[in-house]
Amino acid sequence: MKKLSAALLLLIAVCFSSACQAQQSQDFGEYVVHYNAINTNLIPPQVAQGYGIQRSSSRALLNVTVLKKVMDTPGTPVSAEISANGTNLTGQNRELDLRKVEDSGGAIYYLGVFPVHNLETYRFNIEVAIEGEPEPLVVKFTQQFYTE
């Protein structure tokens, strides 16, 4: 399991690097919400199997991570209630079921898998409710998917 957690961390790091076009984050003062959406065939087989994710170019993964800013650190992972939906350009709305994944190193990810078609564009709306915060953090972004 330790190898699996390390592999997931590596995947997330790759997706948050400048080499990954789907990487994005939004700053909300004392919190930063990182989010990305990628085709699941980009996930290493061992990681996908360990987390029960079906690898396919016609399936995508929405990944959301919330960090509380802590000086001189990359931040502290934060638990939150996260809801997300995506609407394609024809107006079809898809509520995304995100599941919380906590690894042994303390990282917290919220993952949701959904089907996509070639050149399909989704407008995502993510609401992040953090305990003790008066209003949810809202992230909106658009992502186009390519399938084989």
User: With pLDDT > 90 as the criterion, what percentage of the chain qualifies?
Assistant: 79
Give the pLDDT means over successive 10-residue stretches in the chain (148 positions): 48 44 82 96 94 95 97 94 97 97 93 96 98 96 93
Contact criterion met (CB below 8 Å) for 108 and 79: yes
CB 60, CB 114: distance < 8 Å: yes
pLDDT at residue 2, as a whole number: 52
How far, rounded to the nearest angstrom, does the alpha carbon of residue 53 sit from its chain's CA centroid?
Answer: 13
Q: Can you name the CATH fold of 2-144? A: Immunoglobulin-like (2.60.40)
Q: Where are the domains of the chain?
A: 2-144
